[in-house]
Amino acid sequence: MQFQNLKNFKLPPHFRGRSAVYVQTWWLVQMLFFKTSPQFMYGWRRFLLRCFGAHIGKKVMIRPSAHIQFPWKLHIDEYSWVGDGVVLYNLDDIIIGSHTVISQRSYLCTGSHHHHNVDFSIYTKPIKIENQCWLAADVFVAPGITIGEGTVVGSRSAVFKSLPAGKICFGTPAMIVKDRVKEDIDELQIIFAPAFETKPIEMWSDYIGSKALFGDS
């Protein structure tokens, strides 16, 4: 049985949304001018993205090591942050609201393949992260997902179904742990373990009964 034959794979017409020359120009600009810019030059990176069609709100902070596949399919509202090593793989639209944090090494993926098709055909679905969300370190978000306003997703979680507003979620797949309420503010802290100090395995077990572990923003 033949499961997939990549020889027959073809991209749909106008898949990238711009000409091949335009796409290659952006990738060159990203490599030479975006990724090499000093960390503090947030305005410069906002300017480059806007030049290529991105909607970037005021005071958005994007680290130079972040990767944006297609700026013309990116919308980020004011005061949001995109951390080190974040990949915005926006084959389709990625919409990020205001005052939202996408922490380091998170991966927002808007495209995948039909595994049941022999030609391994590709499809895309948009991702929407609403206002005041926090995706902690190393979170994966699948195509077609919406994360509701104010929701927090814990470190190394994988989001395969949309999440409602005002929740704290964790796991693979990400599940609702509890509501995000004011009293939880002191619990949403980074837990650092010095190199010389080992932590008991019990800290990582029985997650539902313990406090959430979230990565840096």
User: What is the per-residue pLDDT across 38-80, written as a single tens digit (0 to 9) for each?
Assistant: 999 999 999 999 999 999 999 999 999 999 999 999 999 999 9
Query: pLDDT-based confidence at 185, cuts 50/70/90?
Result: low
Mean of the per-residue pLDDT values for the chain? 88
What digits encode the pLDDT tens for the residues 81-106? 999 999 999 999 999 999 999 999 99
pLDDT for the residue 174? 97
pLDDT for the residue 89? 98
Give the residue among 105, 212, 108, 106 at the shortest CA–CA distance from 169: 212
Give the residue among 67, 34, 72, 70 at the shortest CA–CA distance from 53: 72
Cβ atoms of 76 and 60 within 8 Å: the answer is yes
Give me the DSSP letters along 131-148: TT-EE-TT-EE-TT-EE-
Give the residue among 159, 157, 176 at the shortest CA–CA distance from 168: 176
Q: What percent of the chain has pLDDT over 90?
A: 82
| Exposed/middle/buried for residue 185 (C-beta within 10 Å: 0-12, 13-18, 19+) | exposed
Q: Is the pLDDT of residue 163 over 60?
A: yes
Cβ atoms of 157 and 169 within 8 Å: the answer is yes
C-alpha 152/C-alpha 211 separation (Å) is 13
- Segment (H or E) for 49: helix 42-51
C-alpha 75/C-alpha 215 separation (Å) is 24
- Segment (H or E) for 81: strand 81-82
Name the β-bridge partners of 101.
81, 134
pLDDT for the residue 188? 52
Name the β-bridge partners of 76.
56, 96
pLDDT for the residue 181? 86
C-alpha 148/C-alpha 145 separation (Å) is 10
* Mean pLDDT confidence for 26-44: 98
Q: If you search the block for the tokens 């711009």, which residue do you land on?
A: 18
Lowest mean pLDDT among 79-83, 96-100, 114-118, 148-152: 114-118
Q: If you search the block for the tokens 């969300």, which residue do you land on?
A: 133
Long-range pairs of 176-183 with CB within 8 A, sequence gap ≥ 24: 177/207, 177/208, 177/212, 180/150, 180/151, 180/152
